[in-house]
Amino acid sequence: MKNKKHAARWIIVPPLLATFAFAGCSTARPPSDTIAVAELGVQQARKSTAPQYAPLELRLAVDKLDQAKRAIENDDYTRARRLAEQALVDAQVAEAKADSENARQPVRQTRQALETLRRELSRGS
């Protein structure tokens, strides 16, 4: 009876250990969804005025997205996810900076118009 239990362990244990070993070796899934969101963020920033007003931030986003894609090719999914998230944030920063600059333009134009009016009024006095 003792030999049967001992034999049964040797039949069950190796496949069980192999299952745990394979589960431990399996890595996370490729961050395809994170890459897709970052790509959309970069595309949206490119369509905005970010290329004009925030070219450095946009360039950083594009570079990090490219690095994330290379990391996926090298099965470095953790790094790929981190770079894709950073690319999205950089794209959002580029867009926010461009939006801020777009909002400042009318203020500058108004100030210039007021300064011109002041000069004309001071000449007339």
Domain contains 117: yes
Residue 11 lies in a domain: no
Q: Is residue 98 part of a domain?
A: yes
- Domain of residue 97, residue span: 29-124
The segments of the chain whose pLDDT lies below 50 read 5-9, 13, 16-17, 20-26
Q: What is the pTM of this model?
A: 0.67
Whole-number pLDDT of residue 123 = 86
Q: Is residue 66 included in any domain, yes or no?
A: yes
The Cα–Cα gap between 50 and 57 comes to 8
3-state SS string for 8-71: HHHHHHHHHHHHHHHHHHCCCCCCHHHHHHHHHHHHHHHHCCHHHHCHHHHHHHHHHHHHHHHH
Question: Is residue 12 included in any domain, yes or no?
Answer: no
Question: Is 87 among the domain residues?
Answer: yes
Cα dihedral 77, 78, 82, 85 sign: positive
Q: What is the pLDDT of residue 111?
A: 86
Q: Decide if 111 is inside a domain.
A: yes
Number of independent structural domains in the chain: 1
pLDDT score for 108: 84
